[in-house]
């Protein structure tokens, strides 16, 4: 009998009360916004519609009570979007927890 190697997988998100605030999709979106300086470009890379991306950001901001992005409208040079300090903090917390959980999974799974 061939033994198939199993590996752990996990999903997690932040919530306030019972309300979803921030998870993998929002994390990837904010990371792309940080890199591309554009919600539109970030939405495209993550496979989200622009409208959905904005709704995801606005919902998180509403629950947190503070902005995660600061957007400047276009003009001759085009617009640009930056991540706020609150957004950067949330990105850092999510990334650290994700790395910690991945490390725990790696250590706890017996080798086959």
Q: What is the DSSP string of 6-57?
A: P-------EEETTEEEE-HHHHHHHHHHHHHS-HHHHHHHHT--HHHHHHHH
Q: What is the mean pLDDT of the chain?
A: 90
Lowest average pLDDT, out of 6-15, 21-30, 54-63, goes to 6-15
Confidence band for 71, pLDDT divided at 50, 70 and 90:
confident
Start-to-end CA span in the chain (Å)? 13
Section 82-104 average pLDDT:
95
CA dist 66 to 12, 84, 92, 105, Å? 22, 9, 16, 33
What structural domains and CATH numbers belong to the chain?
A: 21-104 (1.10.10.10)
> What does the pLDDT read at residue 110?
61
pTM of the model: 0.84
> What does the pLDDT read at residue 6?
77
Instruction: For residue 42, count CB atoms less than 10 angstroms from its CB and return exposed for 0-12, middle for 13-18, buried for 19 or more.
Output: buried
Section 64-85 average pLDDT:
86
> What does the pLDDT read at residue 5?
76
Confidence band for 45, pLDDT divided at 50, 70 and 90:
very high
């Amino acid at each position: 009998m061939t033994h198939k190697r199993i590996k752990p997988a996990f999903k997690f998100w932040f919530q306030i009360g019972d309300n979803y605030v921030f998870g993998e999709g929002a994390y990837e979106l904010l990371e792309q916004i940080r890199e591309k300086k554009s919600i539109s470009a970030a939405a495209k890379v993550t496979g989200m519609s622009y409208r959905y991306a904005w709704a995801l950001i606005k919902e998180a901001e509403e629950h947190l009570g503070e902005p995660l992005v600061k957007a400047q409208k276009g003009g001759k040079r085009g617009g640009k979007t930056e991540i706020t300090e609150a957004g950067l903090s949330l990105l850092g917390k999510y990334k650290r927890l994700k790395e910690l959980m991945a490390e725990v999974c790696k250590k706890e799974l017996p080798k086959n």
